[in-house]
């Protein structure tokens, strides 16, 4: 089975994001007069936020598989798991025979993307930015790919209204927040700027305490003290990762910060907090309440 029209394969290079965009291809597939009525197209979702959007659009019946980061809603875990979105194997993808792959920006590795392109598997790469506009763009892109553009506009408008409601009373007295990805090796792996963590902190009325670099890096003790966070923020991942949270304030540098003086540690489910999907209004509300920036 193939999508119509078929997308031309393009060789990808490490120097840039030459992802294949396929807006409207799914609608063309559905309109194919040669397609049997019961011949449902097969969609693979790569990225937790993409999967959540597909469910929010009531299009989950088209999903045949998902990646490891797609864990909400709970019923999605019954689908085959093709692996972590940044470490996909061609064999794992081919095993579920997708007609269309919808993936968050940054999926890979590059070698797998090249194989998929050479095999003429159609995929849509969904652009990502960590703000309200980014959430809207994600929703509209996924909806367009699935041939339900009008439903996408409706959902995006709804999320815009919900975000406006939860941010209208955000205080200007922004606490300094350090997002700690992990405490492995006794060092805090913290979020710089340009990350999902930095974006959600800003939306909830906080100030990222670490601005000297982008993405995530381990901090020296001196950098931790200089950041002087009022609040430490972590993902609530449970299991063995719970030890990370237990060790935050026993850390020699973190234990000397304003956050340690007040015992301020906030933990929120990682996909909810950092997904920037349809549940972003809930994430902003929870974080703002924890930071005390929502006026309540």
pLDDT in tens, 110-151: 999 999 989 988 889 999 999 999 999 999 999 999 999 999
- What is the average per-residue pLDDT within 255-273? 95
What is the structure's pLDDT at 294? Answer: 85
Report CA 31 to chain centroid distance, whole Å. 31
Residue pair 268/239 in contact (Cβ under 8 Å)? The answer is: no
Residue 49 or residue 296, greater confidence: 49
Contacts of residues 217-223 at CB distance under 8 Å and 24 or more positions apart, as own/partner, are 217/189, 217/190, 217/192, 218/185, 218/187, 218/188, 218/189, 218/190, 219/187, 219/188, 219/189, 219/190, 219/253, 220/187, 221/252, 221/253, 222/253
Asked whether the predicted pLDDT for residue 20 surpasses 90, the reply is no
Asked whether the predicted pLDDT for residue 5 surpasses 60, the reply is no
| Pairing relationship of beta strands 189-191 and 216-218 according to DSSP bridges | antiparallel
CA distances in angstroms from 187 to 74, 112, 179, 224, listed in the order given = 33, 33, 13, 10
What is the structure's pLDDT at 186? Answer: 83
Cis peptide before 73, with omega less than 30 degrees from 0? Answer: yes
User: Percentage of the chain with pLDDT > 70?
Assistant: 83
What is the structure's pLDDT at 207? Answer: 98
pTM, rounded to two decimals: 0.87
- What is the average per-residue pLDDT within 251-262? 94
Q: Phi/psi of residue 198, each to 5°?
A: -65, -40
Q: Residues 6 or more apart from 237 whose CB is under 8 A from it?
A: 270
Domains for the chain: give ranges and CATH numbers: 25-165 (3.40.50.1980), 176-291 (3.40.50.1980)
Residue 85 or residue 12, greater confidence: 85
């Amino acid at each position: 089975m193939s999508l119509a029209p078929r997308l031309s394969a393009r060789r990808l290079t490490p120097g840039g994001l030459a992802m294949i965009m396929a807006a409207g291809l799914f609608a063309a597939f559905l309109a194919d007069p040669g397609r049997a009525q019961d011949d449902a197209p097969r969609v693979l979702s790569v990225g937790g936020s993409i999967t959540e959007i597909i469910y929010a659009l009531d299009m989950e019946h088209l999903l045949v598989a998902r990646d490891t980061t797609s864990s909400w809603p709970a019923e999605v875990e019954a689908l085959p798991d093709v692996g972590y979105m940044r470490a996909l194997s061609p064999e794992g993808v081919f095993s579920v025979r997708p007609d269309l792959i919808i993936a968050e920006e940054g999926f890979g590795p590059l070698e797998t993307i090249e194989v998929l392109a050479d095999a003429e598997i159609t995929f849509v790469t969904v652009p990502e930015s960590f703000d309200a506009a980014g959430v809207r763009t994600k929703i509209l892109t996924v909806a367009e790919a699935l041939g339900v553009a009008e439903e996408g506009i409706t959902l995006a408008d709804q999320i815009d209204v919900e975000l406006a409601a939860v941010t209208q009373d955000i205080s200007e007295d922004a606490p300094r927040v350090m997002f700690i990805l992990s405490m492995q090796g006794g060092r805090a792996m913290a979020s710089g700027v340009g990350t999902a963590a930095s974006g959600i902190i800003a939306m909830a009325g906080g100030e990222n305490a670490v601005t000297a670099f982008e993405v995530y890096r381990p901090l020296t003790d001196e950098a931790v003290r200089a950041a002087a966070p009022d609040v430490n923020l972590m993902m609530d991942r449970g299991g063995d990762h719970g030890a990370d949270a237990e060790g935050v304030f026993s850390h020699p540098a973190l234990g000397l910060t304003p956050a340690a003086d007040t015992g301020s540690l906030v933990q929120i489910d990682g996909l909810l907090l950092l997904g920037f999907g349809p549940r972003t209004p809930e994430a902003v509300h929870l974080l703002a309440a924890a930071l005390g920036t929502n006026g309540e």
